[in-house]
Amino acid sequence: MSPIITLACVVIDCQDPAGMAAFYHAASGGEITHTDEDSAWVAMSATTWVFRKVEGYQPPTWPGSKVPPQLHLDFSVDDLDTAEKQLHALGATTPEHQPNDRTRGLIVMLDPAGHPFCIAARR
């Protein structure tokens, strides 16, 4: 059976996307591939890391879990509608609130435990 999804990127919430990208660029030798007011993208090894600005961001508490880690995964799919149906059959759900119109090629979904992840049409 061929996979429904393939990892497209790891998305990490933060207050300062450019600063995070600069840190991971310097630490990993990766390449900063995109920056704007709300995000910065770094290609590290075979994965893209997206640092996403979140208003009111609070860093995770460690080792406690008062503020949990804040990240989600984005996956590429061949066909959005087909993948969404297949993922529903596996226990995922699609929340009513979507930050983008699905015609833009992105759907936010929730895994069976409620963790958000996105599926996007393969480019």
Please report, for the chain, the start and end positions of each structural domain, with discontinuous segments joined by +. Answer: 6-121
Q: What is the pLDDT of residue 104?
A: 85
CATH code, residues 6-121:
3.10.180.10
Instruction: Convert the pLDDT of each residue in 49-83 to its tens digit.
Output: 999 999 999 999 988 889 988 889 999 999 999 99
**Coil vs helix vs strand at 89:** helix
Contact 6, 43 (CB under 8 A): no
Q: What is the pLDDT of residue 92?
A: 96
Taken in order 32, 36, 37, 40, the sign of the CA dihedral is negative
